Amino acid sequence: MPASTRWMSPESKRIKTIARPLTKAEERRAITAAVTAFGRTARGDGNRRFRVLWAELRVDKRARPKLLPPRRIAVVIVDYGGLRSLEFLVDNGGRVVGERTLSLSPPFAADEVKEARAIAERDPRVARLIQTGASFDGVFTPGGQGERRPRLVGLRYAVSKRGRAFDLRAAVVVDLSAQAIASFEDVHAQSGS
Mean pLDDT, the chain, integer? 87
Q: Burial of 48 by CB count in 10 Å (0-12 exposed, 13-18 middle, 19+ buried)?
A: middle
pLDDT at 125 over 60: yes
Q: What is the model's pLDDT at position 79?
A: 93
Reported residue count of the chain is 193
pLDDT at 3 over 80: no
Q: Which domains does the chain have, with CATH numbers?
A: 3-101 (3.10.450.40), 110-191 (3.10.450.40)
Of all residues in the chain, the percent with pLDDT exceeding 90 is 59
Per-residue pLDDT band at 99 (split at 50, 70, 90): very high
pLDDT at 49 over 70: yes
* Single pTM value for the model: 0.82
**Mean pLDDT throughout 58-81?**
86
Closest CA to 151 of 61, 57, 53: 53
Distance CA 69, CA 59 (A): 6
The answer to whether 61 and 68 are in contact (CB under 8 A) is no
Distance CA 140, CA 110 (A): 13
Name the residue with higher pLDDT: 142 or 192: 142
Per-residue pLDDT band at 43 (split at 50, 70, 90): low
Distance CA 58, CA 110 (A): 23
Q: What is the model's pLDDT at position 179?
A: 95
Per-residue pLDDT band at 59 (split at 50, 70, 90): confident
**Mean pLDDT throughout 25-34?**
96
